[in-house]
Chains A and B, each alone.
Chain A
């Protein structure tokens, strides 16, 4: 049993990398989601086209291909990225494209009377979005954002293939060193599931916090 403790520590070190990657990727994805989601609703056609091109491109190609492209092809254009940077970039941009559609859908689902109220209060477009529309839309986005974050966590396993020592990579190291397969892979499956449970628990808590006092106002 003693030897497993050492290997478990190796896997836990990988778990830290996985969690770091998930947090940083989610932060980038959140920024991209709002930029592209609001961009798609812009009055200016070029902004709409740019946002649509971004969303279709990153949703249309596989995360795996994007990651390899960022890691192996970008250096040929003079941008050399560390595996962690390439991982955060690919994961954030990929999941951001999916989340952008969530942002767009939530903003569009806000009723017309809210926009009319903004006009009545003499808000400009930005003020209306900032103070009236987004606070209501954000609550609607949260549950899907939680699912997106779990998708990002799952996709982060792919970075092990560009030699970033995340949880999956460490499990492969343990497999290579011990020849045991059940222990490392079962351990990381359980750890991934535990992290996913924490994410959905946190999102549900945040949702409860943000909707406090709204019962009965919105169905």
Chain B
């Protein structure tokens, strides 16, 4: 089968529509993952074992099971419990929860890396918990986390094709419907692959820059 450039030009606008949804889902999912991760990290630090242990188990459970099955769970099971979500919302929640458990580990390592003396100094200055976090701990903990957080952003971006399984019309889904309709697989699937490869190669360069700028965590 030959590569057909005319067909490529013809399908490009549809693929670009899909790419927009892919990027939208990645950005929204990542914002949710950043928030969920921080919440998990803080709850797991709680001194009350009745709170921190179950949270730890839930996070381990989410991290140990496939994102695809979690997406099915959110998309098919929740409506039976009376909560109907649009495919895109279900997808964003799935991505956010799954990657939230990964970013939680990054936050945990970053917070643990802040020296003990900083906590004691905050106490000595009579800062309350909120002030300690926002003015002493987080400003020191966040910059070294940036490369690792960016790494998960790229990893999540590469997982967005899974959303096609719950009927989100993102890039992969558009490519598959074009392929099934025209019965030509080679161009749409290869273009999707090329799209991801180009974005990842660019982001690798960006990541190296972030690592030089903010230093590695570990």
Binding site for B on A (CB under 8 A): 56-57, 59-66, 68-69, 72-73, 76, 150, 153-158, 160-161, 168, 171-172, 175, 181-182, 185-186, 188-189, 192-193, 196-197
User: Is A182 a contact partner of B80 (Cβ separation < 8 A)?
Assistant: yes
Residues of B within 8 A of A (CB): 1, 61, 64-70, 72-73, 76-77, 80, 158-162, 165, 172, 176, 179, 185-186, 189-190, 192-193, 196-197, 200-201, 204
Q: Is the CB of A73 within 8 A of B73?
A: no
Q: Closest Cβ of chain A: how far from B185's Cβ, in Å?
A: 4
Q: Is the CB of B64 within 8 A of A157?
A: no
Additional pairs, 16, CB under 8 Å, beyond known A69-B190, A157-B66? A57-B197, A60-B196, A61-B196, A62-B160, A64-B162, A65-B196, A68-B176, A72-B189, A73-B186, A157-B68, A168-B72, A181-B76, A182-B80, A185-B69, A192-B64, A193-B65
Which of A61, A68, A168 touches B200 (beta carbons < 8 Å)? A61
| Given A73-B190, A185-B76, residue A157 in contact with residue B69 (CB < 8 A) | yes
| B70: min CB distance to chain A, Å | 8
Q: Which chain A residues lie closer than 8 Å to B176 at the CB level?
A: 68
CB-based contact A175/B76 at 8 Å: yes
A62 to B196, CA, bound (A): 7
A-side contacts of B192, CB under 8 Å: 65
B197–A60 CB distance below 8 A: yes
Query: Would B196 and A171 count as touching, CB distance under 8 A?
Result: no
- With both beta carbons as reference points, the residue of chain A lying nearest to B198 in the complex is identified as A60
For A59, the closest partner residue in chain B by CB is B200
The residues of A that contact B69 with a CB separation of less than 8 Å are: 157, 168, 171, 185, 188-189, 192
Given B70, B165, B189, which contacts A69 in the complex, CB threshold below 8 Å?
Answer: B189
Which of A56, A153, A154, A193 has a CB less than 8 Å from the CB of B61? A193
Q: Which residue of A lies closest to B171 (CB)?
A: A65
Known contacts A72-B179, A185-B72, A189-B73; is-contact A197 B64 (Cβ 8 Å): yes
Inter-chain contacts of B201 with A (CB < 8 A)? 56, 60
Task: Assess whether B64 is in contact with A196, with CB atoms less than 8 Å apart.
Answer: yes
A211 to B213, CA, bound (A): 37
**Cα separation A62 to B162 with both chains bound (whole Å):** 10
Q: Are B72 and A192 in contact (CB under 8 A)?
A: no
